[in-house]
Each structure stands twice: as structure tokens, then as C-alpha cells.
């Protein structure tokens, strides 16, 4: 009887140790990001935009079309630093799963159009994406993003 009790205790301890050291299947990674936007000497600006925040992602939805799908979110801000009247945008590029294939996509989840030296904050979530890249961009006279600087992740 003592042998059976000891064997059961060892088996229980082993199972507990395996559970304690197993990593979760979809652990989240959180990175900070920061970007100093491009200069525009023609408008007298050494730096036109600035962006920063956190980017969190985790494997979600399995492998689709040969690539791992990811979900997550952003907590970000974009700032217009040039008094030129055009504005700034946080610009993203990524691939989005449409149910049958990966489609290259872009988004401008934050736009600062109220004037120079203003900052806009925004948080949002996403799913079924891959290869996300973050940029701080100027908005040109036509209202479109132009002259972007890619953010540094750390």
C-alpha cells in the first residue's frame, strides 16, 4: 500500500510540474514603438510628425494560407509638429486574411487634421493579420499620407 501511495504522489507531482512549466499556446508579445516623422525644410520643419505607443500581438486562428494569423491591439498616439496646416497620420501596412487569401492592406487609424502641435490618441484591436508595419506620416495637400518614416519597435 505504501508503494502505491508513493507512486501516486510522484505521478501527481510530475503532472503538476509539467503543467507549471508549459507555456501558453498563444502568449502575447507587447512592444513599444516610436517614430520621428520626416523633415520638411521647404516648410521650415526639422520634424513634421511623431508617433508612439504599444503594439500587442499573439498567434490566433492558426495557420491560414501558409502563414500564422495574429490578433492583438494598439494603444497609440500621433502628433503633428509642423505648422504647415496639413496634418499627420499613423499609417499601418499589413496582410489581412479575407477567408481565402492574404490581401495587402493599409490603414490610417489615427489622423491629426486640426492643426500644428496637436496630438490624437486612439486604441483598437485587430485579428487575422500578419506582417504589420507602423509609420508616422505627413498628410499632403490632397489629404493623403505622404513622406512616411517607419517606427522602431523596442
DSSP per-residue string spanning 58-114: EEEEEEETTEEEEEEEEEEEEEE--TTS--EEEEEEEEEE-SSSEEEEEEEEEEE-S
Provide the pLDDT for residue 47: 86
Per-residue pLDDT of 87-132, as tens digits, reads 999 999 999 999 999 999 999 999 999 878 899 999 999 999 999 9
What pLDDT band is residue 39 in, cutting at 50, 70 and 90?
confident
Output 68 or 47, whichever has higher pLDDT: 68
Is the Cβ–Cβ distance between 91 and 135 less than 8 Å? Answer: yes
Provide the pLDDT for residue 9: 43
Burial of 116 (0-12, 13-18, 19+ CB in 10 A): middle
- Radius of gyration (C-alpha) of the chain in whole angstroms: 23
Chain centroid to Cα 122, Å, comes to 12
Per-residue pLDDT of 62-87, as tens digits, reads 999 999 999 999 999 999 998 888 89
Provide the pLDDT for residue 12: 43
Q: Is the pLDDT of residue 23 over 70?
A: no
Residue range 41-56: mean pLDDT, rounded:
90
Is the Cβ–Cβ distance between 87 and 108 less than 8 Å? Answer: no
Q: Is the pLDDT of residue 15 over 80?
A: no
Nearest CA among 96, 82, 99, 97 for reference residue 137: 82
Around 11, how many Cα atoms within 13 Å sit in the side-chain half-sphere?
6
Provide the pLDDT for residue 78: 98
Around 19, how many Cα atoms within 13 Å sit in the side-chain half-sphere?
6
Is the Cβ–Cβ distance between 95 and 129 less than 8 Å? Answer: yes
Chain centroid to Cα 137, Å, comes to 16
Per-residue pLDDT of 128-146, as tens digits, reads 999 999 999 999 889 899 9
Provide the pLDDT for residue 18: 36
Output 126 or 24, whichever has higher pLDDT: 126
State the DSSP code for 41: G
Residue range 2-20: mean pLDDT, rounded:
41
Amino acid at each position: 500500500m505504501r508503494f502505491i501511495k508513493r507512486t501516486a504522489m510522484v505521478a501527481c507531482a510530475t503532472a503538476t510540474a509539467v503543467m507549471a512549466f508549459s507555456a501558453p499556446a498563444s502568449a502575447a508579445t507587447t512592444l513599444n514603438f516610436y517614430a520621428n516623422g520626416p523633415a520638411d525644410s521647404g516648410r521650415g520643419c526639422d520634424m513634421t510628425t511623431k508617433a508612439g505607443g504599444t503594439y500587442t500581438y499573439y498567434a490566433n486562428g492558426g495557420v491560414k494560407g501558409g502563414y500564422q494569423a495574429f490578433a492583438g491591439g494598439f494603444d497609440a498616439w500621433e502628433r503633428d509638429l509642423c505648422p504647415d496646416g496639413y496634418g499627420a497620420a499613423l499609417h499601418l501596412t499589413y496582410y489581412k486574411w479575407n477567408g481565402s487569401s492574404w490581401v495587402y492592406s493599409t490603414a490610417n487609424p489615427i489622423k491629426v487634421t486640426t492643426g500644428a502641435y496637436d496630438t490624437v490618441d486612439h486604441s483598437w484591436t485587430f485579428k487575422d493579420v500578419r506582417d504589420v508595419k507602423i509609420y508616422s506620416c505627413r498628410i499632403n495637400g490632397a489629404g493623403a499620407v505622404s513622406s512616411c518614416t517607419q517606427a522602431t519597435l523596442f
